[in-house]
Amino acid sequence: MKKYIAEMIGTFWLVLGGCGSAVLAAGFPEVGIGLLGVALAFGLTVLTMAYAIGHISGAHLNPAVSIGLWAGGRFPAKELPPYIIAQVIGGILAGGVLYIIASGAAGFDVSAGFASNGYGELSPGKYSFLSALVTEIVMTAIFLFVIMGSTHGSASTGMAPIAIGLCLTLIHLVSIPVTNTSVNPARSTGVALFAGGGYLMQLWLFWVAPIVGGILGAVVYRFVRDNDE
């Protein structure tokens, strides 16, 4: 049970820290952190939690990562349901806390997006469905490839959280204009439930594409390593 609670707390921090930076600080007058700051915030949430709970639960913080690690032979199938449930609960709780905080500002409008993911008219750059699909699959595949490689027994000890956190930062720098960057179904669910409308209707893509990408990245890594785990 402790590792499930750790996953819930870790995912809570990822969504609150990452989406919170987008909702509360990205466009704040004069001191807004912008796209670069939001990307860095997401990377920092993963880096900090990887050190904090990596030894407890593995710090997946993401259903696509858990499923990808299963596909890569690193995680038992029986653990997937409780991990995913814990991650989604953590994401929703973070969305609730962020909503309470953000709604305290005059003029707050949750329907404006609330850091949710989308394509077409709901994409920050108005990118198409195909662009969003390809982006989320490829970015999550690379994320899993880096996770698998940096946590391998032959990799530098203790450096995995840095590599994984910086990888997620780079992913956000590339893909925020396309989908507002998901690569994490729990992160997408945690805010879409509050944004509602079209964001909730498009949520399915941000479950399917990251999971497909996670499996793909893990399988490719196993091939590259000749499956000598």
Domains of the chain by start residue, with CATH:
2-224 (1.20.1080.10)
pLDDT band at residue 155 under the 50/70/90 scheme: confident
* Helix, strand, coil fractions of the chain, as percent rounded to 5: 75, 0, 25
Position 107 scores a pLDDT of 86
Position 123 scores a pLDDT of 97
pLDDT band at residue 225 under the 50/70/90 scheme: confident
Average pLDDT value for residue range 95-102: 97
pLDDT band at residue 227 under the 50/70/90 scheme: low
The residues, any chain, with a CB within 8 Å of residue 212's CB and separated by 6 or more, are 137, 140
Where does residue 227 fall: left (phi above 0), alpha (psi -120 to 50 degrees), or beta otherwise? left
Flag whether pLDDT at 228 surpasses 60: no
pTM beyond 0.85, yes or no: yes
- Residue 171 identity (one-letter amino acid): I
Cβ–Cβ under 8 Å, residues 91 and 176 = no
Average pLDDT value for residue range 157-180: 94
Q: Which has more confidence, 228 or 209?
A: 209
